[in-house]
Amino acid sequence: MSGTWTSRVRRWAASASFAVGVALLVVFCLAPFYWMLVSGLKSPTAIFNNDLLPTTASLENFAAVFSGRNQFSRALLNSVVVAGVTTLTAMIVGVSTAYALTRLVFPGRTVILALILAASMFPGVAILTPLYELFADLGWINTYQAMVVPDISFALPLAIWTLTAFFREMPWELEQAAKVDGANPFQAFRLIILPLAAPGVFTTTILVFIAAWNEYLIASNVSIDASTSPVTVAIAKFTGSSQFEQPFGTQMAAGVVATIPLVIMVLLFQRRIVEGLTAGGLK
Amino acid sequence: MKAGRAVLDDVVRHPDMTLEGAPDPRTRTQAAPDGARAGGARRRPGRSREGRFAFWLVLPTLIVLAGVIGYPVVRAVVRSLYDDPVGRTPEFIGLGNYAEAVVGSGAEDFWAALSTTMFFTGTTVVLELVIGMAMALVMNRAFRGRSIVRAVVLVPWAIPTAVCAVLWRWTFDANGIVNHLIGQQVLWTGSEWPAKWAIVFADTWKTAPFIALLVLAGLQTISQEIYEAARVDGAGPVRRFVSITLPLVRPAIVVAVLFRMLDVLRIYDLPQIFTHGANDTRTLSMLVVEESIGNLKAGMGSALSTLTFLIVFLVALVYIRVLGARVLNGRDGGAA
Amino acid sequence: MKHTRKFAVGAVLAAAVGMVAGCSGDAEQAPAEGSEGSGRGPITFAQGKDTTGKLQTVIDGWNADHPDEEVTFIELAEAADEQRTALVQDFQAGAGTYDVAGLDVVWTAEFAARDWLVPLDDIDTTGLFESTVDSGTYDGTLYAAPYNTNAGFLYYRTDLVETPPTTWAELEDACDIAVANEIDCYAGQFAQYEGLTVNFSEAVNSAGGSVIDENGEVTVDTPEAKAGLQFLVDGFESGTIPAEAITYQEEEGRRAFQAGNLLFLRNWPYVHGLATQEGADSVVQDTIGIAPLPGADGLGASTLGGYNLAISKASENQQTAKDFITYLESEEVQRTLLTELSLPPVRSSLYDDAALQADVPYLATLKSALENAVARPKAVAYSELSTLISTEVYEALQGSVTVDEALSGLQEDLQDVVDAS
C-alpha cells in the first residue's frame, strides 16, 4: 500500500520537476528576448523606463524598421538568398566530405580533418583584408557571391566536423549488409546512413543557416548598398535623427524582426527536412 | 527496403546490442573498424577505387577553404613579417612584430588580452556545456509542444550578434532592467568583475542553445532499444545516463565544445560593444582589430592574428588529445 | 593510395601558394596611382547613413545638373568604428569603391600620411571656420575639406539654475542646487572610448593646457593638464559627478538629463533637438538651457568634432569629386545641412543669419563655441594616442591611479608613440 503511494509521489515529483525544468528553460531563453520585444514596442522617444509591459504600446519602431529608407524587406530577401544558397551548398559539399572522411578508407584523413578545423581558427578581421582585395580585383564588391563564398567556407568546418561525429556513430553492419544486397556506396549512404543520422544532419543545417544569416563582418564590407545588404548590415545602418543618437528601440525591433522569421522557418522546415532525410529510409 | 529493415532488426536483436554490450558502447564502435579493416584488406583493389572516390568528395571542400581561408591566411602570415612604416614601402623584419607583441612594448597588452580571452573561454564553455546539456536532456523527453520548445531554445542563438550585444548593454545599463530587478545599482560596465561576468552571462545565454541542439541531436540518434534493454536489466537512471547516454553522445559533445572554444577564443563583438575593452575585458581579437584598423598597423595586426591562430590551434590540439582522440580517428582505428 | 594523398595535399598547397604568388606582387598598402585619376565621370560618395533622406535630395540636385558625372550615395554603418573599417579596407586595397568619403576630423592625418588621400589645395576654403579647415590640413596641405562641424555645450536646467556657471568653481557651487533637488549634478562622457579623450582634452584645454602643443610636443605632464584631470577626478570623488557616469557615452548622459536626473550635462548640440522634440519623453522639454563649457578661470574650450570630405587616391574621377566637394560646401547646401539634417555647417556666415538663428535656438552659442574650439591632436598615430589617453584617464577617474601617476605615465607613453611615428 505504502509502496504504491511512494511510487506515485515519486512519479508526481518526477513530472513536476520535469515541468519546472521546461519552464526554467523557456524563461531562460525567452526573458531577454521578451525584453527586446518590449523595448521595441515602446515609443522611440520613451526610452528610459523599465516597465515590464509596454504601457503605451507603440508600433512606431516596427514601422520605422520597415519604412522605405531602411529597405528592410529587401534586406530580409537578401538574407534569405545568401543564407539559403550558403546552407544548400555547404550541406551538399559538407555531407559528401564528411561521408568520405568517415565511411571510406583512404590515407590522410586525419590531416584533412585537422586542416579543415584549422580553417576556423583565424580571427575574422585578418581574413577580411586580403579577401576584400581579392573580391575588389574580381569585381565582386556588392554581389551575392562575395558573401556566399566566404559564408560557405566559414560553415564548412562546423558542418563537416559535426556530420563526421554523427556519421561515425552509425553502425557499419547495416551499410555492409546493404552493399552485400547490391547497393552501391551512394545508395548505401542515402538509404542507411542519412536517415539514421537525420537528427544530426538537420541540426547541422539549422546551425549553418543561422551562422550564415548572422554573418556581419564580411557582409558589411562587401555589400555596399541595399541591393545586396543582408539584415545584419541593414540593422547596423539604422541611425537616429543625428550622429550620436542611438535608435535603440528601432534596433531592438529590428532584432525581433530578424529573429522571428528565422525561428518560424525552422519550425516550418524541421518536419520537411527530417522527412526528406528519412524518406525511403528505415526510421 | 524489406532487406534493410530485416538487417536493422537483426542488429537490434544482435547479442552485442543488448545489455551485455550496451553499458560499454565502445565495444560496438570499436568492433566496427576492425571488421572494416579486415574487409578492406580482403579487397585491396576496391580500396584504391574507394580512395579515388573519396578524393573527389573531399576536393570541393579543400578548394573552397584553400581559396577563401588558406589564401588570406598565407597573405596575413607573410604580411606579419613586414613592418608598419608611414609613407614608405614595408620592409622585411622577420619575427620582429612577434617579438614586439610577446616580449616587447606590446607585451603587457598581449598577455592581458590572452588571460582575459582564456578566462572567457574557460568560464563560458563550462557554463554553456552544463546548461546546454540540461536543455538537451529536457528537450529529449517526449512531451507535447516539444517542437515549440526546440524553436524557443533557438531564439538566443538566432538573434544577430551585434543586436544581442546592444541588448545586453542596455539590459546591464546603470539604470537598466537588471539593476531594476535586483534593486541595487551595480555599474556593470564600470568595473572589472561585474563587466567580465556580465559578458560571460550574455555569451552563455546566447550560445548554450548551440550546445543544446547538437547534444539533442546526439541523444536522438541513440536507439531506444538500448535503454529498454538496460532498464530490463535493472540499471537505474543514473547508471543509464553514465553508461549509455554519456558515451553515446560524447562525439556530439566533443564537437560542440570544440567549436564553442574556437569561437569564444576569437570573441569580439560582445566585449567590444559592451565595454570597448575597458576594465580588463580586452580580448585577443579586439587587440587584432585595434592594431589593424585602429592603429593601421597591418603587420602588427597580422602578427597578432597569427599568434591568436597558434593559441587557438594549441588549445584545440590539447583538447582533442585529452578528450576527443577518437574524433580524429578514422575507420582504420588509429590516426592516419 | 599514397599518390592520392600526396596529390590531395599538393593540390591544397598549390592552390594556396599559387594565389599568394599571383597576388602578393602588388605589395601591401601600395599607394594607388593617383595622378592618372584626374578625369570626370560618375563617382560614389560614402558617409554614415542619413535617416532624414534629405541628403539624397541634395545629391539629386547635383545629378540634375551633371548627368554625365552622376554621384551615387553609399550609406555606411552607423558606428564610426565600422565606417572606418570599411574605408580602411578600401583605401588599403586601392580598390576605389569610394571616391568621396566623409572622414571623422581625427582621421585626416592618419589617412593622409599613408598616402590614401588626394591633396585638395585647389579647393576654395574662404568663408569656412578656420578651425575646421585646420582639422583637414596635414603637413601644410589640405587633404580633407570641411563638411560639417561640432562642439560641446553645457546643458543646464533653466528652472533650477538662473545663470549658468562660467567656471568650474561656479559649477561646483551650483551643485548645491542639485543636492537640494535630490538629483545628480554634472556628467559628460566618461566611459573608456573616444568620447573620454574628447572630454579629457576639453578639461585640459579649459585649464589653459594642451595635450600636444603646436610644436608637436606632448604636454600632459604640466600643471594645466593636471588641473584639468583633477577637476574630473575630484568630481567623481566628491560625488559632483555621479558614480554611474563612469559608464556614460553620449546617450546615457542624454537619457539621464532628459529624465530630470541631472542638473548639468556636457554633450553635443544633438541633445537639444531630441530633448525639445514634440512628444519627447523629456521632463526638460521647456527648461533646457545651453551655455558654453565652463573652464578653470573663465569659459572653457570645447573639442572640435565633425566630418570632413576626402577623395580616395584610387578614385578615377577626381576632378568630378573635387567639384562635388565644392558643391557640398556651397552656402546653399550648407544651409540645407543645418535646417534639414541638423548638422552644424562649416560656413561661418550662416551662423549670423537672422532667419536661421530664429529657427535654431542654439546657433549663437554654437558659433562662439566653434570659435574657441580646439582640435584634438593631429597625429599620424592618432588612434594609438587616443587609446592610451582614454585608458589612462579612465583609470584615474576610477581612482586606481593618482592624477600625477596617470599623467606622468601618459606623458611617457604618448611621447614614445609620437617619437616612433
Query: Is there a domain that residue B3 lies in?
Result: no
| Number of residues in chain A | 283
Which regions of C204-304 does DSSP assign to beta strands (E)?
262-267, 288-291, 294-295, 298-299
SS3 C223: helix
Q: Under 8 Å CB-to-CB from B217, ≥6 apart: which residues? A: A166, A199, A200, A202, A203, A204, B252
Distance from B99 to chain C by nearest Cα, in Å?
A: 17
Phi, psi torsion values for C215, nearest 5 degrees: -90, 5
Which chain A residue has its CA at the smallest distance from C19's CA? Answer: A134
The closest CB to that of A214, out of B160, B168, B268, belongs to B160
Cell of C13: 598547397
Range of the domain at B270: 97-328
Q: Which residue has the cell 529529449?
A: B140
The closest CB to that of C281, out of A46, A107, A225, belongs to A46
The closest CB to that of C88, out of B48, B175, B296, belongs to B296
- Above 80 in pLDDT, residue C1? no
Q: What is the CATH number of the domain that holds B312?
A: 1.10.3720.10
Which regions of C151-304 does DSSP assign to beta strands (E)?
153-157, 184-187, 262-267, 288-291, 294-295, 298-299
Does B163 reach chain C within 8 Å, measured CB to CB? no
- A140: DSSP letter: -
Q: Decide if C29 and B90 are in contact by the 8 Å CB cutoff.
A: yes
Chain C residues within an 8 Å CB radius of A75: none
| CA pair distance B5, A282, nearest whole angstrom | 6
Instruction: Provide mean pLDDT across the span B148-155.
Output: 88
Chain C residues within an 8 Å CB radius of B275: 191-192
Chain A residues within an 8 Å CB radius of B244: none
Residues in a beta bridge with C156: C264, C289
Chain A residues within an 8 Å CB radius of C78: 236-239, 246
Name residues 360-419 of chain C within 8 A of A (Cβ): none
Query: Is there a domain that residue B239 lies in?
Result: yes
Is A70-278 a CATH 3.40.1160.10 domain? no
Condensed to tens digits (0 to 9), the pLDDT of residues C298-332 reads 999 999 999 999 999 999 999 999 999 999 999 99
| Among A85, A267, A99, CA closest to A196 | A99
**pLDDT, position B24:** 37
Q: Decide if A246 and C23 are in contact by the 8 Å CB cutoff.
A: no
| Number of residues in chain B | 336
Mutation for B interface: C7, C92, C247, C412, most B CBs within 10 A: C247
Domain boundary assignment for chain C? 43-150+304-372, 153-303+381-420
CATH number of this structure's domain C43-150+304-372, picked from the four choices 3.40.190.10, 3.10.180.10, 3.30.2130.10, 3.40.640.10:
3.40.190.10
Chain B residues within an 8 Å CB radius of C23: 71, 75
Condensed to tens digits (0 to 9), the pLDDT of residues C327-382 reads 999 999 999 999 888 889 999 999 999 999 998 989 999 999 999 899 998 889 99
| CA pair distance B173, A246, nearest whole angstrom | 14
Instruction: Provide mean pLDDT across the span B111-139.
Output: 95
What would the CATH number be for the domain defined by C153-303+381-420?
3.40.190.10
Chain C residues within an 8 Å CB radius of A50: none
| Among A99, C293, C212, A23, CA closest to B135 | A23
| CA pair distance A149, A137, nearest whole angstrom | 15
Does C14 reach chain A within 8 Å, measured CB to CB? no
What does the buried/exposed string (b/e) look like for C114-129 if buried means 16 or more CB atoms within 10 Å of the residue's CB? bbbbbebeebebeebb
Q: Decide if C77 and A45 are in contact by the 8 Å CB cutoff.
A: no
Condensed to tens digits (0 to 9), the pLDDT of residues A10-31 reads 889 888 888 898 999 999 999 9
Q: Decide if C51 and A69 are in contact by the 8 Å CB cutoff.
A: yes
Confidence class for position B22, pLDDT limits 50, 70, 90:
very low
Q: Look up the pTM and report it.
A: 0.87
Q: Decide if A132 and C95 are in contact by the 8 Å CB cutoff.
A: yes
The closest CB to that of B68, out of A131, A185, A262, belongs to A131
Condensed to tens digits (0 to 9), the pLDDT of residues C251-284 reads 899 999 999 999 999 999 989 988 888 777 788 8
Q: Decide if C251 and A225 are in contact by the 8 Å CB cutoff.
A: no
The closest CB to that of B293, out of A107, A125, A169, belongs to A125
Phi-psi region of B92 (alpha: psi -120 to 50; beta: other; left: phi over 0): beta
- Above 80 in pLDDT, residue C30? no
Domain boundary assignment for chain A? 1-58, 70-278
Got the DSSP string for A43-69? -TT--S---SS-TT---HHHHHHHSGG
Residues in a beta bridge with C310: C101
Q: Decide if C247 and B78 are in contact by the 8 Å CB cutoff.
A: no
- C234: DSSP letter: H
Q: How would you list the strands of the sheet with C184-187, edge to edge?
A: C184-187, C262-267, C153-157, C288-291
Single-letter amino acid code for the residue at C182? E
Condensed to tens digits (0 to 9), the pLDDT of residues C60-105 reads 999 999 999 999 999 898 888 889 999 999 999 999 999 999 999 9
Which chain B residue has its CA at the smallest distance from A270's CA? Answer: B147
Distance from B274 to chain A by nearest Cα, in Å?
A: 14
Residues in a beta bridge with C315: none
Does A11 reach chain B within 8 Å, measured CB to CB? no
Pairing of strands C294-295, C298-299: antiparallel
| Among C58, C135, C41, C28, CA closest to C374 | C135
| CA pair distance A255, B164, nearest whole angstrom | 8
One digit per residue, pLDDT tens: chain A, 283 residues? 556 788 888 889 888 888 898 999 999 999 999 999 998 888 776 656 777 877 777 888 888 888 777 788 899 999 999 999 999 999 999 999 999 998 888 888 889 999 999 999 999 888 999 999 999 999 999 999 999 999 999 999 999 999 999 898 888 888 888 888 888 878 888 888 888 888 889 889 999 999 999 999 999 999 988 889 999 998 888 766 666 777 788 888 888 988 888 888 777 777 766 666 665 444 3
Q: Taking CB atoms and an 8 Å cut-off, how many pairs form between chains B and C?
A: 111
Q: What is the mean pLDDT of chain C?
A: 89
| CA pair distance A206, A219, nearest whole angstrom | 20
Q: Decide if A136 and C93 are in contact by the 8 Å CB cutoff.
A: yes
Cα C63 to chain center, whole Å?
Answer: 29
Whether residue B230 contacts residue B98, with contact meaning beta carbons closer than 8 Å, is answered with no
